[in-house]
Structure 1
Amino acid sequence: MASHKRTLRRLTAGAMTAALLMSCAGVSALAAEKDTFTLGIYSTTDMHGKCYDLNPIDGKEVKNSYLKVATAMKEERAAMDGTILIDNGDIIQGSSIISYNMNMEGGVDNPMAICLRYIGYDAFVPGNHEFNFDMETQQIFYDMLADTSDKYPGTLVDALCANYINIETQEPNLTPYKVMTFDVGGQEFKVGILGFENVNVPNWDLPTHYEGSDFVHKDNTERTYAYEWVNYWQKALREDEGCDFVIVASHSGEDSGLVGAGDGDAVETGKTDFSPENQVRHLVENTTGIDMVIAGHNHKVGVTEMKNADGQTVPCVNGGTSTLTKTTVTIAADGSFTIGQSENLDLTTYENDAGLKELMQPYYDRTLPFITEQIGTLSGDWDDETDLFHVQSDTMNLVHEAQLWATGADLSLASPVANKDFCIGQLLNGAESAPISLKDCYSFYKYDNNLIYMIEMTGKQIKDWLEDCTKDYTVEADGTITGGGFGTDQLYGMDYDIYMGNPEGSRVVNLTYQGKPVTDDQTFKVALNSYRLSANAAGDEFGWYATTGITMGTDAVLWDGSVSEEFGSIGGSVTLVIAEYIKAMTAEGKDITPPEAKSHWTLNAGTAPAAGTVTRQAFVEKLFEAQGLDPVPEFTKAPFSDVTSTAVDWAASEGIVSGDGAGKFNPNAPITREQAAVMLMNAATVLEKGPTGMWAVQITYADADSIASWATDGAMWNIIQKYIPVGEDNLFNPQGTITAAEADAMIAALMA
């Protein structure tokens, strides 16, 4: 990055209000007498609880923890005349160690506060994940940062946030900024540090976690940092405090459209225009008076040059969960300064700080047995489905079953939050059984800050929300379906099918509950996570509030797991609730086997079949009924994960059906004529009416070339038996559908 030289006129500092902080950075007499003063400005962001060098979940080394930051800063401080170190938030959530402390120990003696104090951070700016917890637990963390006794190691850390605003008083709840003063050649050089929280916190966190507050002043209707800076803080820092240099640390992305999703992950939202969530570039381009910006939230490592409203270049640094940013500023005795190179220091190249590791060791030692202790035994024929957004799976069925167990609800809503390409079946690794522990629960439900709730919803609200979720999917040119994210829920307890070829608003069809169509005014108890209920008119990222009108403050909320007698001790965390469900099943002497699905759903690229079209399951049921079995014997369960049906069990055991080759039967898909031909031929064989010996014939249909290779035997047998009639055009129409009357006639011909 090119250097920037600015000469600042010195301003007389006004009186400082009692609420604001000033600290003086001690420098040696030698440094003060130098012609220039080298200031190093450092930052971390989105470190998500990385306070130890081993991950208790997988035993792997954590190569970019605060232990490395401690070592790096000791080296940097020795090389600089003065330093500023800022953490840009999202620190008390994201690792199993901090999760154990927050959920099981109530955040007491918070390890992350100890890390910041030990390393000597000058300022901390909260991120949105700080608001995952109730206000009392948050305050424990802030009190530890501010503690001036000798109870905790290190030095106090100032928590800064200029836009966490009390709605009634319109004053910040935390100190908005800090001014640090450096002695440069006998002259004061003032650096102001202003903190901004992400304005979209109401999109993600419960109102009780920031009760009576918002994240902009009430006159900031567009919710921009630029408005906050120009109208509230530019004069305060530049004129009243007389700052020579201003840093804005904002827990917001540059403008990349990336959204953080835990340690090391970032989800591409596809948005590159202005968004309140990621608005650092908008801040810089629409203001003056800011010399440097620290970004975060989007987990994007890098340094970006931006132009402010006067055309001056402003460096923006982002540590992106894994690095320590470094920016050098060379200050002359006359007050002019040059902003030097900004860079991301690779934390993996530093050793762990032994002193901090010793302090963190007890936290690791308490966490490890908690998450690795066996809580159950996994067994059974689990599917290997990892495409959890587009196909119903055993993995998600278990999540839903746990939510229903915890709440007693009729239905469960959840979006997949498993590790990439993971499914529960992988834990067996080919064995008949395997132990399961809490660390495994994190593999298929990694966000333990999602809390379990139960609400009441009408049939209309449920259908409208499922319809809204279909907007997250895209049908590609080859017919495959892509898309899906944290806002894309799946419903468990009702059967339904999604046809992406249908117009928006009518893609969800066949919505039934216990075999009956769902009506708009029916009401259901629904289990779901807290991130849905945090939405409101001011913050509605996924469209939940606009679609359902349900938020935390409405009467629709029936039960809150975070304060319940059953799960209050674990904070209502969905991840920990799943573990409790597994423990309960184990206490009953049960292995954890693939759940027998209470409902089924499908996602299809095309349009819904016309009314009266027979589905695959309906056709098999007609075949089964035609057998007249009395009494009906028990059949081996069909090896399909998406259907529960005696008729399908019979057909599979007799070799009449074999599914799609991937463990699915696709019961609600319309049966095609070529599929029916194969089933009829196989059924004829069961009835000892099928082909024997050398029987192949030529397929004389005009469209023979369009018949699938797996269906040619069925088509040849139909040439002979004529179960499925063709018209004068001699077209078999292999991919065509059939009506109920046609299915009845075909089966009657078979049974004759």
Structure 2
Amino acid sequence: MCIIENFVLTILETSDVHGTVLPINYSDNSYANCGLAALSTIITLEREINQNTLLIDNGDMLQGTALTYFHAKINNNMPNPMIEAMNLMGYDAAVIGNHEFNYGREYLNNAIKTSNFPWLCANITKKTTGESFTNKPYIVKTFDNGLKVGILGVTTKYIPNWENPETIQDLNFEDVVESANKWIEIMKKQEATDINIVAYHGGFERDLETGKPMEKLTGENQGYELCMKVKNMDVLLTGHQHRVIKNLSVNGVLVVQPGYNGNCIGKVSIDLVKNSRKWSIVNKKSSIIDANATDVDKRILDSISNIETKAQAWLDIPMGNIEGDMLIKDPLKARLKDNAYTEFINNVQMEAAKVDISNTAIFDNQCKGFERNVTMRDIIANYKYPNTLKVISLKGSDIKAALEKTAQYFSIVNGEIEVSKVGIYPKLHHYNYDMWEGIEYIIDVSKSINYRITKINYKNCPLNMEGDYAVVMNNYRAGGGGDYSMFKGKPVLKDIPIDMAELIANYILERKTIKAVENDNWKVIY
């Protein structure tokens, strides 16, 4: 007689938490409905409902807040707050995200070493041996009833376009589709897995329903391609794009993506039945559970209280004063004409690099600029990424191409200017709109794409399209990040391996008082 056995598997996914443990905004310590401390309570409740629950982080965990910056750059003798929290929460596995490399390999290696769970990465391999960078391409979880669940980790292969070359010089970044097919076959044949989960730190380059491209097909987000081309994949956990995706299937593969900063958690429920020694999926669905920061896990608070106290004290260290107005009251208006904040950041970059052309961005709409009294908290809140600087050699034609690229950020709707789809979909891309110093230019949004730059002068003369110019920018942009392909592979004239936050702090400390100035070297018209 054939015995039928039923089983329910729950998979919980965090992704793109970006250093968020507590439900606060470090810019002013205001309340925020997010963070691991809030998600931990949800996870505990889900485990009470179904003990057959797996918890997986999908990457970009170690970087992103003032707390993680403080630990990485100021006081890394203390335990890593993210790993302390994750260990307490009982993660089964984590996947390497692109931002995991931001604080350097030693920092990442220490995080992996002190984790009570494996870090998975099948497609980032060591050049010397061909082995997985983390030595763990996958794991297999075997339940008491014999069910075997394979969990494979893969990471966007686009990292070399963003990361400092010296940080990743010993690594290969292989195609995620090829890696997934290779390792799932191994999992099926050698491990006899019944269910295969792929946790991919990457998103979707195509519309999930129509398959039409949503962005340039660079290989950064191969989620749709994974669903269409990888065999024996049952669930695809995604991230990187900071989207909320639930209860959708592509080519029979269930997909989910749980936002960012720990504002929600992804949940996958799989109903299985065992008949004739074989497990079959009867039903599978995915959902999103929003964080409830009013009910936080005190264990998580206690685990980071010591370093949190020290970080808060460091954030309140005074740096200097601003004379005049360096506030960003309206992010859109700040991107339509020269403003004191971006001029200041460009001045810091040009001073550090000893060149006279620079570009920078207002990274997001939470960037508020500087009040009269500037603390370290203000610097970290405004310049949130641990970028360093590079000076690269560009032709005048490269600069024009970059300006045309940045001009795509705008569109005109009913006679009013607004952020185009390029800037907000499939995720917010405010950090890809650059503002330049050292040249004079005009963006005319009424013109067609690629013909919007109507003026570019350098030292009161038209920019020489064949001339060579030294330009300073952050390392992300210098490597072509944000699809600025005109920068990729250009000669590096100078590498400044000091975090911008430190450069900004030193610049203010040395001068004590900074005058807010605008030389009106650029503007947007329409």
TM more than 0.5: yes
TM superposition score category, shorter chain reference: 0.7 to 0.9
Change (3 A) 1:302 1:520: closer
Map 1:628-707 → 2, pairs under 5 A: none
1:306 matches 2:249: yes
Map 1:457-536 → 2, pairs under 5 A: 457-476=394-413, 478=415, 480=417, 482-483=419-420, 485-500=430-445, 507-520=452-465, 522-535=467-480
Match of 1:317 in 2: 256
**Paired residue type of 2:60:** D
1:284 matches 2:221: no
1:595 matches 2:507: no
Once the 2 structures are TM-superposed, how far is the Cα of residue 248 of structure 1 from its aligned partner? Answer: 0.7
Match of 2:74 in 1: 104
Once the 2 structures are TM-superposed, how far is the Cα of residue 439 of structure 1 from its aligned partner? Answer: 2.4
Contact kept, 8 Å, 1:246 with 1:292, in 2: the verdict is yes
Distance 1:194 1:289 in 2: 12
Match of 1:404 in 2: 350
Once the 2 structures are TM-superposed, how far is the Cα of residue 76 of structure 1 from its aligned partner? Answer: 2.6
1:351 matches 2:289: no
Secondary structure at the aligned position of 2:87 is classed as: helix
Once the 2 structures are TM-superposed, how far is the Cα of residue 192 of structure 1 from its aligned partner? Answer: 0.3
Map 1:216-235 → 2, pairs under 5 A: 216=174, 223=175, 225-230=176-181, 232-235=182-185
Contact kept, 8 Å, 1:107 with 1:140, in 2: the verdict is no
1:240 matches 2:210: no
Q: Tell me the TM-score normalised to structure 1 length.
A: 0.62
**Paired residue type of 1:574:** M
Contact kept, 8 Å, 2:404 with 2:453, in 1: the verdict is yes
Once the 2 structures are TM-superposed, how far is the Cα of residue 506 of structure 1 from its aligned partner? Answer: 6.2
Task: Encode CA deviations 1:425-473: one digit per residue, 9 max, x unaligned.
Answer: xx3xxxxxx322222234443x322222233444444344334433444
1:393 matches 2:319: no
Change (3 A) 1:324 1:525: same
Contact kept, 8 Å, 1:252 with 1:280, in 2: the verdict is yes
Moved more, 349-358 or 84-93: 349-358
**Paired residue type of 1:45:** S
Contact kept, 8 Å, 2:26 with 2:381, in 1: the verdict is no
Secondary structure at the aligned position of 1:395 is classed as: helix
Contact kept, 8 Å, 2:478 with 2:488, in 1: the verdict is no
Instruction: Extract unaligned runs of 5+ from structure 1.
Output: 1-32, 146-155, 217-222, 259-269, 428-433, 563-571, 606-752
RMSD over aligned Cα, in angstroms? 3.0
1:543 matches 2:494: no
1:450 matches 2:450: no
Map 1:59-208 → 2, pairs under 5 A: 59-106=29-76, 109-145=79-115, 156-167=116-127, 169-174=129-134, 175-184=136-145, 188-208=146-166
Match of 2:427 in 1: none
**Paired residue type of 1:214:** N
Task: Encode CA deviations 1:713-751: one digit per residue, 9 max, x unaligned.
Answer: xxxxxxxxxxxxxxxxxxxxxxxxxxxxxxxxxxxxxxx
Distance 2:319 2:358 in 1: 23
Distance 1:107 1:276 in 2: 37
Change (3 A) 1:297 1:278: same
**Paired residue type of 1:558:** K
Distance 2:478 2:368 in 1: 27
Secondary structure at the aligned position of 1:315 is classed as: strand
Among 557, 562, 570, which residue is 2:493 paired with?
557
Once the 2 structures are TM-superposed, how far is the Cα of residue 48 of structure 1 from its aligned partner? Answer: 0.9
Secondary structure at the aligned position of 2:144 is classed as: strand
Task: Encode CA deviations 1:43-91: one digit per residue, 9 max, x unaligned.
Answer: 1111111122444322123432211233233333233242211100111
Secondary structure at the aligned position of 2:187 is classed as: helix
Instruction: Extract unaligned runs of 5+ from structure 2.
Output: 424-429
Task: Encode CA deviations 1:344-376: one digit per residue, 9 max, x unaligned.
Answer: 223206722222211111121111122222212
Match of 2:426 in 1: none
Once the 2 structures are TM-superposed, how far is the Cα of residue 398 of structure 1 from its aligned partner? Answer: 1.3
Distance 2:493 2:101 in 1: 20
Contact kept, 8 Å, 1:450 with 1:531, in 2: the verdict is yes
Match of 2:168 in 1: 210
Secondary structure at the aligned position of 1:400 is classed as: helix
Contact kept, 8 Å, 2:23 with 2:293, in 1: the verdict is no
1:253 matches 2:194: no
Once the 2 structures are TM-superposed, how far is the Cα of residue 541 of structure 1 from its aligned partner? Answer: 4.6
Change (3 A) 1:197 1:346: same
**Paired residue type of 1:454:** V
Distance 2:6 2:345 in 1: 61
Distance 1:448 1:137 in 2: 16
Match of 1:417 in 2: 363
Map 1:582-621 → 2, pairs under 5 A: 582-586=508-512, 590=513, 592-595=514-517, 597=519, 600-605=521-526
Contact kept, 8 Å, 1:377 with 1:435, in 2: the verdict is yes
Q: Tell me the TM-score normalised to structure 2 length.
A: 0.86
Once the 2 structures are TM-superposed, how far is the Cα of residue 274 of structure 1 from its aligned partner? Answer: 5.6
Q: Which has the larger radius of gyration?
A: 1
Once the 2 structures are TM-superposed, how far is the Cα of residue 100 of structure 1 from its aligned partner? Answer: 1.1
1:367 matches 2:311: yes
Q: How many residues align?
A: 504
**Paired residue type of 1:396:** T
Distance 2:418 2:271 in 1: 54
